[in-house]
Structure 1
């Protein structure tokens, strides 16, 4: 073949190859499996919110049976250790890892030099209106005015007992400026509509760094809605907060699923045998099981999550504050004690605290 012909052939082949590569590169990537045309889904089940018929059946049976039964005692509460909390808030890199249970799923976590709030709700009711809906049975462990300057707020999903508009607005107006709000996909528009503009939106396994802390949204099994027409329209999730000297996991609301084994596997290369230093896990809001099992864990399942995550310790939350389900407000810690014994988990490895109580925690790698 003449040299000129060979050169022309190579030129044409190269151009065809480049066009093919360009065509492949321009094809949109397939969306993740949990992304659907109508919104989002869980990894292990096709979640469908319960029907109106199911809801009526649950509430009718609860009324007939007189459920939930009254608690045997009020939810334990103590005065917060404000001197420690505020001194620790200013400690920077010397900050002592610590958590303070404020109530329900709201925890003040101090780690990596940051003051972090999870699913903040300080309102009197978990409801879209202030005159009706589940009423608070225990005051917040810290009032909004008692908080140190909050650097970061993580919101797990948009249900009213986790994404509380008055509390979020108040935090955005705190002295010194708004915290950063980290939320699952689809929620940023709601925050922006409320005038809250320091917002980062994440998909499952995406991360965002705040100072020395990496924030990772993880899959959990739940669902979302704030009205009748937006079910599953926004994403939900848990959070891994990874500081140099402390790894914390916050589950938000969740049913039991294989997601927690996946979370352990995902972080194992950077955690080794240690797992999370603390997992903040829901233990309340679980009865009746036929209605709640696909969305809320019971204490036995919470202990299994603790084990799946290889957590050094876990803190039980999401109990004792709002009467949302059929078990008594104070039943969850008793059920947790039974589950620990049955699964061979030490009492101190999965503990509960009084509202307002601060638990100081060992740094990563400490004996």
Structure 2
């Protein structure tokens, strides 16, 4: 079948119009309304020690500027592992199950916690376009135990997945802990989502002696073209019987200040979950996503005894190969003379217990 230039332009124009309408809709949603602070000017959140998001012009330069090398990912990768978690983990241990990308199930002290849960096939405002899943979740949704708590780090589609949150709400009605403003996004889509919004440094009791504190991270957020940083982003320090767990959804490295502050403020960290993927090209990504070398430095800065790698091998958001982050982590650990068990990259469905 021959596609005429006019039909092609109409098709592209239709997609562009749909994207524009989606962005306008997202930007017109009710945004956070609260007092001015050292990281909120009354309209926009900002990181005094971070970097602003890239401009639209820089996005276009990356996408269409020429000289770009985008590695081709396999359409689908069959998982080697599939986890069926226990109903609960009691006592002083913590069980970590890697779902994929930035999603984790953390079980401790009888509490089941999901971090940035995404079971959708795409991380996009569209069901037919945008980054698609290249591997199944390491836990089938119907194999999940009762979920008590959900932690959502920020509003980007690969971290705040509304269809998944709605399914979790319908099945388990968990508390959803998230930074300021993201609760509006969730409740606007589904009023049954039990979202609670908090600021940086807020500490939230979760039950059974478990608590979580929101901490600054070097990132930003948006769900459309015109709503940048109208909600807040954060990482989490989770207090467990086995020690403190530092969970990072997305972060650039910068000069390591954010990671050193976690060590200075929260003391000994038992384990850190650190992102290692979605980092190429570096000129565009370095302020918002760490590469494996950055992640190894972040591990040293936060002082964690051990780290688990996150944010890799599931959705192609940037230009590196599907196995680039994991291979890069092995090389970075070798260069830093770190043993393999110090910073591990799990595959979906794999489990670590401490």
Fold match, TM over 0.5? yes
Q: Equivalent residue of 2:133, what SS? A: coil
* Residue matched to 1:344: 337
1:75–1:355 Cα contact (<8 Å) kept: no
Match status 1:294 vs 2:284: no
Greater Cα radius of gyration, structure 1 or 2: 1
Map residues 214-229 of structure 1 onto 2, 5 A cutoff: 214-229=211-226
Give the number of equivalent residue pairs: 316
Match status 1:205 vs 2:201: yes
Match status 1:35 vs 2:43: no
Question: TM-score by structure 1 length?
Answer: 0.82
- Residue of structure 1 aligned with 2:117, choices 107, 117, 120: 120
Greater CA deviation, 33-42 or 164-173? 33-42
**CA deviation vs aligned residue, 1:168-210 (integer Å, no higher than 9, x gap):** 0000011xx3111000011122222221342221111101101
* Residue matched to 1:12: none
2:299–2:307 Cα contact (<8 Å) kept: yes
* Residue matched to 1:179: 174
Q: CA deviation at 1:244?
A: 2.6
> Which ranges of structure 1 fall in alignment gaps of 5 or more residues?
1-29, 269-274, 362-367
Describe the shift of the 1:146–1:95 C-alpha distance in structure 2 as closer, same or farther (beyond 3 A): farther
Question: TM-score by structure 2 length?
Answer: 0.85
Describe the shift of the 1:70–1:166 C-alpha distance in structure 2 as closer, same or farther (beyond 3 A): closer
Q: Equivalent residue of 1:149, what SS? A: coil
Map residues 109-188 of structure 1 onto 2, 5 A cutoff: 109-174=106-171, 177-188=172-183
Q: CA deviation at 1:75?
A: 5.5
* Residue matched to 2:317: 324
Q: Equivalent residue of 1:168, what SS? A: helix
**CA deviation vs aligned residue, 1:332-359 (integer Å, no higher than 9, x gap):** 0111111112223221100011111111
For the aligned residue pairs, the C-alpha RMSD in angstroms reads: 1.9
Match status 1:79 vs 2:78: no
Distance across 2 between alignment mates of 1:309 and 1:66: 33
Describe the shift of the 1:142–1:358 C-alpha distance in structure 2 as closer, same or farther (beyond 3 A): same
Distance across 2 between alignment mates of 1:144 and 1:242: 26
